[in-house]
Amino acid sequence: MRKFAFVVLAVAFLVIAAGCENPDTNVKTEKTLTINEVTVHYSGDVSLSEAKSVLSFVRDNFQITGETDVYLSKNGDAYTVEVTVPYTSPDQIDDATRFYVEMMASKMSQDVFGGSKSVLKLVTGDRSELLSVESRYSYVNSGTIYVWYAGVGEDKAKAVLDYAVSLVGEGPWDIIIEGSNPYNVKAVSSFESREEIGDSENTYRQMASELSQRLGGNVVIHVLSPEGKEIATFGS
C-alpha cells in the first residue's frame, strides 16, 4: 500500500530521560531510543531490538517530517504502538488514512512482532487516543502486490497472489481474502464509484470465475475504493 504522509508535532514536554524512574513504583523504568528525530519510548518486557524494529517500521511506512514520539508497550504476548500525530480530533482523520492504518497494524504484527497480536494507535501530543486498530491479517506479497488474508490458509492466499501476478504483472495492488465458499476477495481499486468501473467490470467477473477454480469454491469479488469502501460486487 502507499505510504501515508503526515507531519507530526514535536512533543518535548512528554519526553522522559532514558532510564528515569517513575515515582509510582508499580510502573517499570521507561527507556528511550532516538534516531533521526523519531523517539521510541519503551519499558517493561520490551527489548531494545523490538524498539529498534518499531522505530524502523514507523520511519519506513509513515513519511514523517519533524520530531515525533512513539510509545511501545507489551501486555503478555500483545503489543501496543502509539504514534503521535498533529490531529486533535478523530473527525480530522480521513477514510484513506483509517484504511491505511488498519492494514499497517497487520503489517506491523507480521514484520515486527512475528505475528503476535498488535494494536496500532494514532494519538495526540498529550496521548489522547484518536484511532485504535488491532492486527487482523497476515500477508504474502510479490513486490508491491500484497494479498492480506484472515480465516483462510496461506496456500489460498498464495494462490490469489499467483493469480494477481499473472493478471497484472506488478503492483501496487492490495487484495484481501476472507472466509470460505464463498471466498470474499476484496480488491482495492482506483475507482471511487460503481459508475467509474466501466469496462473493467468484465475483468472483475473473469477474476471471480478464475479464482473460484483456483480456490475450489465460490468467489465473490468486492471492489473497494482507495479509501477501502465497497463500491461493487461480482460473483463467480
- Burial class of 194 by CB neighbour count within 10 A (0 to 12, 13 to 18, 19+): middle
The pLDDT assigned to 63 comes to: 73
Please give the pLDDT value at position 23: 37
pTM of the model: 0.85
Residues 176, 106: Cα–Cα separation, whole Å? 12
pLDDT in tens, 180-210: 889 999 999 999 999 999 999 999 999 999 9
Average pLDDT over residues 25-54: 85
Mean pLDDT along residues 85-94:
94
Please provide the CATH number assigned to the domain covering 138-235: 3.30.300
User: Does the pLDDT value for residue 22 go beyond 60?
Assistant: no
In the chain, the N- to C-terminal Cα span, in Å, equals: 26
Query: Average pLDDT of 34-38?
Result: 91
pLDDT at 40 over 60: yes
SS (H, E, C) 124-146: CCCCCEEEEEECCCEEEEECCEE
* 130 Cβ contact partners less than 8 Å away, ≥ 6 residues apart: 85, 87, 89, 90, 92, 93, 121, 122, 123, 124
Domain ranges for the chain: 4-134, 138-235
To the nearest whole number, what is the mean pLDDT of the chain?
88
Q: What tens digit of pLDDT does each residue of 112-162 get? A: 999 999 999 999 999 999 999 999 999 999 999 999 999 999 999 999 999
**Using CA atoms, how far apart are residues 51 and 39, in angstroms rounded to an integer?**
10
- Per-residue pLDDT band at 62 (split at 50, 70, 90): confident
Q: How large is the average pLDDT for residues 99-121?
A: 97
According to the model, what pLDDT value does residue 158 have? 98
The residue length of the chain stands at 236
Beta-carbon count within 10 A of 28 CB: 14
The pLDDT value given to residue 6: 35
pLDDT for residue 26 is more than 80: no
The proportion of the chain whose per-residue pLDDT surpasses 70, expressed as a percent, equals 88
The mean pLDDT of 6-13, rounded to a whole number, is 29
User: What pLDDT is stored for residue 212 in this prediction?
Assistant: 97
Q: Looking at residues 217-231, what average pLDDT do you find? A: 97
Q: Which residues pair with 115 in a beta bridge?
A: none
Decide if pLDDT at 8 tops 60: no
The pLDDT, as a whole number, for residue 28 is 58
